[in-house]
Amino acid sequence: MPVLRGHHLICLHFFNGEGYDQTFINNLCNILNEVKSEGLEIGAGGDDVCRKCPYLKNDSCAYAENADAVIREMDRKALELLDLSAGNSVPWDGIKNTIPGIFPEWYKSYCENCEWLTVCEKNDYFRNVRKANS
C-alpha cells in the first residue's frame, strides 16, 4: 500500500502526466494505479512520491530555500481539511469525494500561487471542481 503525505492526497488528483523527469512521472503513474486499487496510508514527511523526486535530500525538500517548511505546512493543512491523520489507511475515492468541499479554501491558500497551476488546469477533474466552486 503506497504512503502519501498530506498535500499529495489532494494534488495527485490533478496529475496530468507531467513532472520533473520521466523517472518521477513513471513513479507517479505507478502510485496512482496502486492507490486506486489498494488505497493508501497517510505518511508524514517524504513519501512514495518524494522517493523519486530529484529535490529530496535527507528526507527534506531542497527545491528552494524554506521549501521543506512550506511543504510541511501544506501537508498539515491538507490533513486538517480532509480530517485525516498520519498513520490512517484510506481509500483513494474517499479522498476524491471530499475534495470538492475543501477545494475553495485549498485553491485560495495554495493553488493560486503554485507554479504547477498551469499543469493542473489541464486536468478535467481540476477544472470541474474549480468550476463547481466558482
Total length of the chain: 134
Q: What is the pLDDT of residue 56?
A: 87
Q: What is the pLDDT of residue 86?
A: 96
How does pLDDT run along the chain (134 residues), one tens digit per residue?
999 999 999 999 999 999 899 999 999 999 999 999 999 999 998 999 999 998 888 888 888 889 999 999 999 999 999 999 999 999 999 999 999 999 999 999 999 999 999 999 999 999 999 999 87
| Residue-range domain boundaries for the chain | 3-132
Q: What is the pLDDT of residue 58?
A: 86
Long-range contacts, 15-20 (Cβ 8 Å, 24+): 15/123, 16/119, 16/120, 16/122, 16/123, 18/119, 20/53, 20/54, 20/55
Q: What is the pLDDT of residue 6?
A: 98
Q: What is the pLDDT of residue 103?
A: 97
